[in-house]
Amino acid sequence: MFSSRKDIALYYMYSEEIWKYAKDILESDNFQMTRNHIQHGSMTVHEHCINVAKTSLYIRDKLHIECDDRDLIRGALLHDYFLYDWHIGDSKNPLRLHGIFHPGIALRNARKEYELTKKQEEIIYRHMWPLTILPPICREAWIVTCADKYCSLMETLHFHEGRVKNTFDKLEL
């Protein structure tokens, strides 16, 4: 994905833009709790969501896509706001159909804490397409859907480990 040092520097620069539009999310207790759950490989849900937000901004810039930056960032950070360890089956999810059901759970959780726009709701609810039925409609949701697929693959194959670390880990939240 990153073809030059300039691209990597740009990726790190996105931290400021994310902080600008989503300080309340980054500082929330529930978002901080996502550090305790593994998403893909050894990557936490917290790291994954920040990677998806940064990768979404990178895609926006590389493809020169006009979009609502605030909705893009907030939707990306909240797209996996399911707040449980999906690796453990329980009475609510005995068959571990996490991939199908977690967008609705994430949306419900996000609505409890934040005032969401229609685009943010679409990003959260439709990011698992084509596994789920409804495809994204707005460009912000398409960008996050693509960024999520890319990050998920890289994290599962352990390509993100050690190469591009979250600059938020150094911040006192």
Asked whether residue 68 carries a pLDDT value surpassing 60, the answer given is: yes
> What pLDDT, on the 0 to 100 scale, is given for residue 167?
44
Residues 122 and 161: their CA atoms lie apart, in Å, by: 29
- Return the DSSP state at 136: P
Closest to 75 (Cα-Cα) out of 29, 118, 124, 113: 124
Scanning 1-156, the segments in alpha helix (DSSP H) are 5-27, 29-33, 45-62, 69-78, 98-113, 118-126, 139-156
Asked whether residue 168 carries a pLDDT value surpassing 50, the answer given is: no
> What pLDDT, on the 0 to 100 scale, is given for residue 166?
47
Q: Which residues contact 61 (CB under 8 A, 6 or more apart)?
A: 10
Asked whether residue 78 carries a pLDDT value surpassing 90, the answer given is: yes
| pTM for the model | 0.82
Furthest C-alpha separation in the chain: 48
Which has more pLDDT, 86 or 127?
127
pLDDT in tens, 127-153: 899 888 889 999 999 999 999 999 988
> What pLDDT, on the 0 to 100 scale, is given for residue 131?
80
pLDDT in tens, 93-133: 554 665 566 888 899 999 999 999 999 999 999 989 988 88
> What pLDDT, on the 0 to 100 scale, is given for residue 99?
55
Closest to 138 (Cα-Cα) out of 75, 52, 48: 75
CB 61 within 8 A of CB 90: no
Q: How many Cβ atoms from other residues are within 10 Å of residue 72's Cβ?
A: 29
3-state secondary structure of 57: helix
